[in-house]
């Protein structure tokens, strides 16, 4: 019984959240008690444009099954244009990853404002569901990093 449970590993999701909107949105989800799966772990960045493709690749390497970026809505960036840059950079990165055969569902961008606690929770629930259905990340993993 324990063996089975151990084998059915829960997926791991890394969420990069910008300090000004999405991290605050996550806080609001928390204070509104809007739950989302515990497999979602948040890393705070000043702006979504701080997220280097290397961070995302590293997460997959280390065993993440999905990576999601959250930023302010286009037009609302605290730094006025950071999320526009993110949108381009990640458009090209995600497309390239998919070109290499990495499932396109494993990467996502969502715009979540500080007022959208409900959206944050809904997005994370949905993303976790998608990743759960997709199963473990096999195409961009580093076996040395797996137990």
Partner 1 sequence: MQGLEKLMLEKANALLQSGEVDRVIGWKKGESYYDVSPATFTKDNLEGFVYNCFCGANLSKYLVAESKKEGKMLVFLKPCDTYSFNQLLSEHRIEKEKFYVVGVGCNGHLDMNKVYAQGVEGILSMSEDENNLIVETVYGQKIVEKESALLIKCLTCKSKEFAVADETLVVGEMKPANPNRFEEVEKLESMTEAERYAFWKEQLSKCIRCNACRNACPACTCINCVFDNNASGISAKANADEFEEKLFHIIRAYHVAGRCTDCGECSRVCPQNIPLHLINRKVIKDINENYGDYQAGAEVNARNPLVNYTKADVEAKEVVEGGNK
Partner 2 sequence: MHRIGVFVCHCGSNIAATVDVERVSNALAHEPGVVHSVNYQYMCSENGQQLIKNAIKEHNLSGIVVCSCSPRMHEATFRKTAEAAGLNPYMVEIANIREQCSWIHKDVEEATEKAIVLARTAVAKLTLNKPLVAGETGVTKRALVIGGGIAGIQAALDIADAGYEVDIVEKNPTIGGRMAQLDKTFPTLDCSACILTPKMVDCAQHEKINIYSYSEVDKVKGFVGNFKVTIKKKARYVDETKCTGCGVCMTNCPSKKGLNSFNMDLNTRPAIYIPFAQAIPNVAVIDPEQCIKLKSGKCGLCSMKCGANAIDYKQQDSFVEREYGAIVVATGFKPISLENFNEYGYADNKDVITSLELERLMNAAGPSKGTLVRPSDGEHPHVITFIQCVGSRDVSGCGKPYCSKICCMYTAKHAMLIREKYPDTQVNVFYIDVRTPGKNYDEFYRRAVEQYGVNYIKGMVGKVYNENGKLMVQGSNLIDNEQVTIASDLVVLATAIEPDPSVKDLATKLTISIDTNNFLTEAHAKLKPVECATAGVYLAGVCQGPKDIPETVAQASAAASKVIGLLAKDKLKGNPCVAHANEMTCTGCSQCAEVCPYGAITYENKEFRIGGGKTEKRRVASVNPAVCQGCGACTVTCPSGAMDLHGFSSAQILKEVEAICKR
Residue 104: Cβ within 10 Å count:
12
Q: Which does 120 bind (CB under 5 to 8 A by kind): partner 1, partner 2, none?
A: none
Pick the closer one to partner 2 by CB: 34 or 134: 34
Question: How do 107-111 and 13-18 pair as beta strands?
Answer: unpaired
Q: Which does 92 bind (CB under 5 to 8 A by kind): partner 1, partner 2, none?
A: partner 1
Instruction: Report the 3 state secondary structure along 59-105.
Output: HHHCCCCEEEEEECCCCCCCCCCHHHHHHHHHHHHHHHHHHCCCCHH
List binders of partner 1 among 84-113 (CB under 8 A).
84-85, 87-104, 107-109
Q: Give CA torsion, residues 130, 103, 63, 133, to 10 deg.
A: 30
Q: Which residues bind partner 2 (CB under 8 A)?
A: 9, 12, 14, 20, 23-24, 26-27, 29-31, 33-36, 38, 41-47, 49-55, 58-59, 62-64, 72, 75-76, 78-82, 85, 89, 121, 145, 147
Residue numbers of the site for partner 1 (CB under 8 A)?
A: 53-54, 57-58, 61, 74-75, 81, 84-85, 87-104, 107-109, 139-144
């Amino acid at each position: 019984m324990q063996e089975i449970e151990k084998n059915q590993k829960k997926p791991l999701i890394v969420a990069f959240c910008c300090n000004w909107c999405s991290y605050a949105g996550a806080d609001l989800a928390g204070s509104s008690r809007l739950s989302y799966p515990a497999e979602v772990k948040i890393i705070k960045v000043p702006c979504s444009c701080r997220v280097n493709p290397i961070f995302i690749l590293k997460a997959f390497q280390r065993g993440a099954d999905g990576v999601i970026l959250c930023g302010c809505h286009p037009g609302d960036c605290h730094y006025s244009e950071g999320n526009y840059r993110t949108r381009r950079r990640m458009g090209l990165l995600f497309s390239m990853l998919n070109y290499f055969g990495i499932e396109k569902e494993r990467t996502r961008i969502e715009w979540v404002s500080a007022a959208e606690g409900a959206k944050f929770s809904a997005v994370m629930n949905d993303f976790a569901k998608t990743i759960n259905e997709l199963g473990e990340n096999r195409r961009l993993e580093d076996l040395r990093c797996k137990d």
